[in-house]
Amino acid sequence: MGAATKHQPDNSQDFIPLNTDAAPQPAKRKKPAPAAAVGSDSEPSTSSSSRVVYIGNLPHGFYEKELLGFFSQFGKLTRVRLSRSKKTGKAKHYAFLEFQHPEVAEIAAGANQRFRTVQWRAVERRRHDKERSPQEHAVRVARLIKRDAQRAARIKAAGIDYEYTPVKQQVPPKPKRTVIEMTD
C-alpha cells in the first residue's frame, strides 16, 4: 500500500461502543420551543413570549389577504397560515398568525372577539317569524301564486294530467272596505 492509508475499522470486535471519548460528538441543536397558541378558542399561554395567535371561526371570504390587511394594523406579521383542505383547497375557517413581537400578538389576540360563532338557526327563526306589513304579505302571496302557475305549466308541458286546487283559489279574498257615514 501507499503512504496514505485510510482508517479501517477493527473488525475483531463484536460490537462498537456507543460512548467513546475519542470520537467527537456532533453538536446537538436545540429545537426552538413551540409557540403556544393564544386566542379565544384556546387557553392563553402562561409564557408572554408567544408570537403566534390562533384565530378561529373565520367567516367565508376572509382569506390570507384579508387576514394580513386586518391584523397588520396591530404590528408586523411574519407569517400567515390559513388552514385549507388538501382535497378541495377550501379554507377550514381557522388560521395561525405569527407576529414579529410577542406584545403585539397579545394585543391582536384580544381583538379576536370579532370572529364569534353565529347562531344561524336563531337568526333564521327570527327572520321567518317576524311580523310583516300588509304590503310585504301581498308581495309574498303574489310570488307564491306566480310560482304555482309556473309549476302547473311545467307539469302540463311534461304531459302529466294532474289536477289540484291552485294556490290562487286557496288565498282568501281581500276584505271589502265599507265606509260608514255617520249622520247627525
Q: How far apart are CA 161 and CA 128, in angstroms?
A: 35
Q: Express each pLDDT in 122-141 by its tens digit.
A: 888 998 898 989 899 889 99
The residues near 120 (Cβ < 8 Å, ≥ 6 apart) are none
Q: Which of 27-41, 46-60, 117-131 shows the lowest per-residue confidence on average (mean pLDDT)?
A: 27-41
Task: Give the length of the chain.
Answer: 184
Q: Is the model more confident about 181 or about 153? A: 153
| Confidence label for 79 from pLDDT (cuts 50, 70 and 90) | very high
* Residues paired with residue 91 on neighbouring β-strands, in sequence order: 84
Cα Rg for the chain, rounded, in angstroms? 36
Count Cα neighbours of 165 within 13 Å in the Cβ-side half-sphere: 3
How are beta strands 52-56 and 91-99 bridged, if at all? antiparallel
The structure's pTM equals 0.40
Pick the closest to residue 105 from 72, 59, 69, 63 (CA basis). 72
* Mean pLDDT, all residues of the chain: 77
Residue 34 has pLDDT above 50, yes or no: no
Class of domain 52-120: alpha beta
Domain boundaries, given as residue ranges, for the chain:
52-120, 135-173
Q: How far apart are CA 58 and CA 114, in angstroms?
A: 9
The residues near 112 (Cβ < 8 Å, ≥ 6 apart) are 39, 40, 53, 55, 56
Name the E strands within 107-183.
none
Phi, psi of 78 (to 5 degrees): -100, -25
